[in-house]
């Protein structure tokens, strides 16, 4: 038989519920990923819904997600990847437009209208293509 962890109750809880420290200890273990909600419910003989309520009430994970604007880290990563793809597409369109202008008008738009930094970036891009 599996031995229970060190978080124990001094006496069987009454209708008043479980001690605050007991709840916090379980919430902490669940949020740290040490055990799942189901495992905690079995291990400490507490209802699953009770643990979920404790996590909602005492947990830090929900607060952190709300601080992030309601988005999980994976959602933020996906959003940033999407923005990066869009920026790369805009850069490609801009580059193609400049090349078309140069061919049609026979001017060197890259040299004439770009900042030094933009010119250096274009030089690096041209070197990478070769």
Quote the number of domains for the chain: 2
Domain extent at residue 1: 1-70
Query: What's the predicted TM-score (pTM) here?
Result: 0.41
Asked if residue 26 lies in contact with residue 40, where contact means CB atoms within 8 angstroms, the answer is yes
Q: Does one domain contain both 38 and 102? A: no
Q: Does one domain contain both 14 and 51? A: yes
Please report the DSSP string for 1-23 in residue order: -PPP-S---SS--BTTB--HHHH
For 14-48, what is each residue's pLDDT tens digit? 556 888 889 989 998 888 888 999 999 999 989 99
Q: Does one domain contain both 120 and 77? A: yes
Q: Does one domain contain both 98 and 113? A: yes
Identify the bridge partners of residue 17 per DSSP, sorted by sequence position. 14
pLDDT at 80: 94
Q: Does one domain contain both 83 and 65? A: no
For 55-92, what is each residue's pLDDT tens digit? 888 888 666 666 666 676 778 889 999 999 999 999 99
């Amino acid at each position: 038989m599996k031995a229970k962890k060190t978080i124990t109750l001094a006496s069987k809880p009454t209708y008043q519920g479980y001690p605050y420290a007991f709840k916090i200890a379980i919430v902490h273990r669940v949020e740290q990923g040490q055990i799942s909600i189901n495992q905690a419910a079995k291990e400490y003989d507490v209802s699953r819904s009770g643990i979920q309520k404790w996590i909602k009430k005492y947990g830090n994970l929900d607060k952190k997600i709300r601080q992030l604007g309601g988005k999980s880290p994976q959602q933020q990563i996906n959003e940033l990847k999407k923005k990066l793809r869009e920026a790369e597409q805009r850069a490609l369109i801009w580059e193609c437009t400049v090349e078309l202008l140069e061919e049609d008008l026979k001017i060197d738009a890259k040299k004439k209208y770009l900042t030094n930094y933009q010119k250096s970036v274009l030089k690096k891009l041209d070197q990478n293509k070769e």
